[in-house]
């Protein structure tokens, strides 16, 4: 199979791996009450495993990305797949809450991080054209997780106890992810770069890892992604509770998440096409600006119809902008360090995601209202816009300076 055709196999593999890995993590909300009822553990204690997982993902992302630069994506993704299946199986037999928090939080979080950055880096290396679309399609596969794995987990737990259900998910992860991991291949562009003139194969090839991590481009990508994720994490986590305080029944309020998720699928593809046509930076800045005002719009939501409308717009936007960071990374840094660079941006994004739930809870406890959460998200979103606007591509002068250093 030619590289031109096999690159789409890489896209499909990345989407499926992401869907299964993220889906395994987000099966925890489905298991919350069954676990609590059977074990007597508090819902808060069980939920904290997700917080631990986000933190573990953040700090593992750069590690896995660096290893994928050194070893290639296949052994990293394969290792992560095996570790994820084993961790889920171990979590299902946890004898105490602390053990569950450590196994599901730390081990599952670390294993899941082995998929995102290495696969995003791999895909960017396979595509010179339609790169934004390809990255967005992989991201869309990951976005399918709440609509596929979560219902599957809900069906399982309606038939079996939570431990058996989690073991079945571990088996599905092993049976599906391990073979799919074997389809992942190193980008041919890396092999070509090793034999070709560096200036021709990769304009930034003179850049060292230290120079890349200290460059303004890398710092700006990290800060933008952090502020971007901090903007939408609060609204994502607290909008259902906010809708309930507005008088909307819980069952209807939960459906707002589904609207956001479905709209996000379209957003990823649409922003990918727009990024290819008009440039990733331009679309990112416009998307971040729209995201800020989308968060603010929740302040004016009243009935279920207005919540649905805002959720569709907001989900379309925040999901759409996320893959563009990987595209900007590939356009400005050498392919040989893509895993590390994208892993760094993923780390910043995960830390930003960890802020929203905590900040939203503190705001509601203080003011008995969510209004300042959305106003604050709007302000943070405008900050992300201003930071993104300062991003400038690596110039020939920078390249020359790095080569001479």
CA quadruple 314, 317, 320, 326: dihedral, nearest 10: -110
Mean pLDDT by 10 residues, the chain (405 residues): 77 91 83 86 79 86 88 93 96 93 92 89 82 82 77 86 94 96 84 51 68 91 96 85 85 79 87 90 96 96 92 93 89 87 89 81 84 95 97 71 57
CA pair distance 168, 173, nearest whole angstrom: 9
Please name the residue ranges forming H helices in 72-126: 73-91, 97-100, 108-126
CA pair distance 188, 342, nearest whole angstrom: 19
For tokens 């998440």, the residue is 257
DSSP character at residue 180: H
Q: Output the CA torsion sign for 93, 96, 99, 101.
A: positive
pTM (2 decimals)?
A: 0.80
For tokens 């082995």, the residue is 114
Tokens matching residue 256: 């707002």
Tokens matching residue 245: 């305080």
pLDDT of residue 198: 47
pLDDT of residue 200: 45
Share of the chain above pLDDT 70, in %: 92
For the chain, which domains are there?
A: 3-195 (1.20.1250.20), 200-393+396-400 (1.20.1250.20)
Tokens matching residue 369: 């209202």
What three-state secondary structure class fits 185? coil
Q: How do residues 26-84 score in pLDDT, each as one tens digit? A: 788 778 778 888 998 887 788 778 778 888 988 898 899 889 888 889 999 999 999 99
Contacts of 380 (CB under 8 A, 6+ apart): 227, 230, 231, 292
User: What single string gives the DSSP state of each residue in 6-66?
Assistant: HHHHHHHHHHHHHHHHHHHHTTHHHHHHHHHHHH---HHHHHHHHHHHHHHHHHHHHHHHH
User: What single string gives the DSSP state of each residue in 201-228?
Assistant: H-TTTT--HHHHHHSHHHHHHHHHHHHH
pLDDT of residue 194: 52
């Amino acid at each position: 199979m030619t590289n031109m055709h096999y690159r789409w196999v890489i896209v499909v593999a990345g989407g499926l791996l992401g869907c299964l890995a993220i889906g395994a993590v987000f099966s925890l909300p489905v298991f919350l009450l069954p676990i609590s009822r059977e074990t007597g553990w508090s819902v808060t204690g069980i939920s904290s495993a997700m917080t631990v997982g986000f933190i573990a993902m953040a700090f593992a992302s750069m590690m896995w990305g660096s290893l994928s630069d050194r070893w290639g994506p296949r052994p990293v993704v394969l290792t992560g797949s095996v570790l994820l299946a084993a961790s889920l199986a171990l979590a299902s037999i946890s004898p105490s809450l602390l053990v569950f928090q450590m196994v599901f939080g730390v081990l599952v979080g670390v294993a899941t991080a082995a998929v995102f950055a290495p696969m995003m880096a791999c895909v960017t290396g396979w595509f010179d054209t339609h790169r934004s679309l390809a990255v967005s399609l992989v991201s869309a596969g990951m976005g399918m997780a709440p609509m596929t794995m979560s219902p599957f987990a809900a069906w399982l737990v309606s038939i079996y106890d939570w431990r058996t259900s989690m073991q079945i998910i571990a088996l599905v992860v092993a049976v599906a992810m391990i073979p799919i991991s074997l389809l992942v291949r190193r980008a041919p562009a890396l092999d070509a770069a090793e034999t070709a003139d560096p200036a021709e194969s990769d304009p930034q090839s003179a850049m060292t890892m230290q120079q890349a991590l200290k460059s303004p481009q890398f710092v700006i990508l990290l800060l933008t992604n952090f502020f971007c994720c901090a903007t939408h994490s609060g609204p994502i986590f607290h909008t259902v509770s906010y809708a309930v305080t507005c008088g909307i029944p819980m069952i209807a309020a939960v459906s707002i998440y589904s609207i956001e998720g479905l709209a996000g699928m379209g957003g990823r593809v649409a922003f990918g096409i727009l990024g290819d046509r008009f440039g990733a930076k331009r679309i990112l800045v416009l998307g971040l600006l729209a995201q800020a005002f989308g968060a603010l719009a929740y302040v004016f939501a009243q009935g279920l119809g207005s919540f649905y409308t805002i959720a569709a717009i907001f989900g379309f936007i925040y999901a759409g902008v996320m893959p563009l960071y990987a595209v900007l990374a590939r356009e400005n840094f050498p392919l040989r360090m893509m895993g590390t660079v994208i892993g760094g941006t993923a780390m910043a994004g995960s830390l930003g995601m960890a802020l929203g739930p905590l900040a939203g809870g503190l705001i509601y406890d203080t003011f008995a209202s969510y209004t300042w959460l959305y106003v604050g998200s709007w302000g943070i979103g405008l900050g992300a816009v201003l930071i993104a606007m300062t991003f400038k591509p690596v110039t020939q002068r920078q390249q020359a300076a790095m080569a001479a250093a």
